[in-house]
Amino acid sequence: MEVYLHVTSMDKVQDKTTTDELLKKSPTSTLNSYNHVLITGYADMIKESNSSISIINLIFQPVTNSVLQQYYAEEKIGEGTYGIVYKAWDVERKKYIALKKIRVESHCEGIPSTALREISLLKDLNHPNIINLIDVIYAANRLYLAFEYLDTDLRQFIDWSSGHFPHSLIKSYIYQLLNALHYCHTHRIVHRDLKPHNLLLDGDGNIKLADFGLARAFGLPMKALTHEVVTLWYRAPEILLGSKVYSMAVDLWSLGCIFAELFRKKALFEGDSEIDQLFRIFRTLGTPDEVVWPGVTSLPDYKPLFPNWEAQYLGDFIPNMDKEAIPVLEKMLTYDPHKRMSAKDILTDSYFDHAPLVKATQLEEMIMLETDRTDVANMLATLISRSDQIDSDPEIRVANIDESSTSVYIEHPCN
């Protein structure tokens, strides 16, 4: 039996190799009696490398239909640069899961680095407000990630409603996300792509952080990182100004933008380019200088000729926001990342002393929706219940993650 591992990175290169050669070159890789290749030792390499992140391409012989028994794909629910997400039925667990099929374009490029990051990081995270990665499957030259299934995302939920959300719901969501970020940051992980589309909701009032494809593990001292992260509207000013060193503070800025958007029902800073995004921030918070942000004038993309705008009161841009919430938002939208408060510190604010879950069954009366009542009923039904009927062909088979270690088991299709 041959198992090929192709690794391309700044510091490690392994060409196609047999299992025996693989074990000799990588003592942390082993082959167990069930024809599973246990690959370890690469998680740290994936986390620590820069833009030349390791690209691992696992090449197995094609699987046969007889082993494709575990999941039944029902419908496509999303599509991105690197793959498609399906709503699928887990036959063994008897529940829905979200199945992300990753495109593996060629043996040369291998599995996208975003997928490797997501696998590497999510295996080490276990929190009620972070999406749960159930399985990792490599079959028929495709990589599948099986996640717990949630009914919708915050972007859709905002777009569905034309009225304002109840303040208690907003507080509950932000409180949960702060807890998720505190957990990530405690584990030295910065998400780097917080936006409503990556926040998933269920009918019990839970919100969960998802899509760790751009996330990075960080260390001390901080390394130079790319600034091509975070969707533009939620991008922190230090990234927009070209800083090569940043950390968890970028997530707090993004969450602050989402916090404001939940009250406004539209983004706080809707730039259409990096410079437009900067100027929209400056017009609201004032043009930063060395007094409010020491070192800002030394950042690569700072220009002395930037217009000089005076800071405005944030409450003027979010008229329906609680007075008690404004100081919390200001802590998140502080220019200087060293002064921007951490998730842990913000959680101690008295604003969050009472932040109960708000279930979907409570929302129909609480949200002032102007849409057709049938649409409202359908929206709430989506959050409250799930269909049990599926009529689809089998899609793939499971290969379990070993929860007791940082390793990934990928089932070899040949017996």
Residues with a known catalytic role = 193
Cα–Cα distance measured from residue 44 to residue 206, given in angstroms and rounded to the nearest whole number: 31
Q: Which residues contact 103 (CB under 8 A, 6 or more apart)?
A: 82, 83, 112, 142
Which residue from 409, 413, 382 is spatially nearest to 397, judged by alpha carbons?
A: 413
Residue 140's region, left for phi above 0, alpha for psi from -120 to 50, else beta, is left
| Structure token digits, residue 156 | 């859709």
What's the rounded Cα separation, in Å, for the pair 269 and 282?
Answer: 10
Report the C-alpha gap between 71 and 91 in whole angstroms.
6
Whether the CB-CB separation of 158 and 169 falls below 8 Å is answered with no
- Tell me phi and psi for residue 200, to 5 degrees: -100, 145
Token pair 């009927």 is found at 389
Consult the annotation and say whether 359 binds a ligand: no
Whole-number Å distance between alpha carbons of 297 and 237: 12
Q: Which residues are annotated as a binding site for ATP?
A: 100
Q: Which residues are annotated as a binding site?
A: 100
